[in-house]
A = this chain, B = another copy of it.
Amino acid sequence: MKSYCDTCAIRNRSICAGLKDDEISLLNAIGRRRRLKAGERLLWEGDEAVLVANVIEGVLKLSTQTADGKEQILGLAHSSDFLGRPFGKTTPYGVEALTDAYVCVFQRADFDRVAREHAGLEHKLLERTLGELDRTRRWMLLLGRMNAEQKLANFLLEMSDRRANAGSTGEPGDGIWALPLSRQQIADVLGLTIETVSRQFTRMKKDGLIDLPSRREVAILDRRALEYLAA
């Protein structure tokens, strides 16, 4: 039988990489593909955790809110990242597509069962979760100890890197690329306000570090200098 997974773009980079054929076909049997429009939500914070997913294409955000309604984005999920909370009662954060996206979703119950029965899959999941924890902790440093300029510099560099090595278009360098986030969303990622983000953008542009051909596009002109700012 023909399998989705055979032609899957992230077959060798996602959680599925290195799984045995029988494991893949089990996943293939319980997974289904789903397209998301930009802005569409996949999971709601506090919901019963009904599904998990692999990101095939696009960028999604994970976020929570404070009691007074301010949003904090907890992370971004790019191509080949894993989404959702296996083995838990509720989803601890909301998930929303920032760009049009393409995901491979599993019912939690199905996925949990397959994972428990196949140590290989569970091991993959563990490695990915550990990696995600490391990344999240590094982000804490940014939130806790950096000023606006450093935050934005780091953000731009990370976005640029992630799209370089996860992008299907796989361009190497620093051409013009599309920002998948609005100014407000960038502010929510970095723990800043929209005005501060805007001012920093303007300043970096004036200083010749970046160019902003349009609202949703950036080009990194002086990577070295940006890395220096990111300190």
Contacts and interface: CB of A to CB of B under 8 A. Distances in A.
Centre residue among A122, A126, A139, A191 by max chain B CB count within 10 A: A126
Q: Is the interface of A mostly helix, strand, loop or mixed?
A: helix
A72 B126 CA distance: 25
Contacts of A209: none
Interface of A: 62, 64, 66-68, 70, 72, 74-75, 85-88, 92-93, 116, 119, 122-123, 125-127, 129-130, 132-134, 136-141, 143-146, 190-191, 231
Contact of A133 (B64, B127, B136, B145): B136
B146 A143 contact: no
Contacts of A190: 144
How many copies of this chain does one complex carry? 2
A191 B146 CA distance: 9
9 contacts: A64-B137, A64-B138, A66-B146, A70-B145, A74-B137, A86-B130, A87-B127, A144-B190, A145-B191
A116 B123 CA distance: 8
A119 B120 CA distance: 9
A93 B137 contact: yes
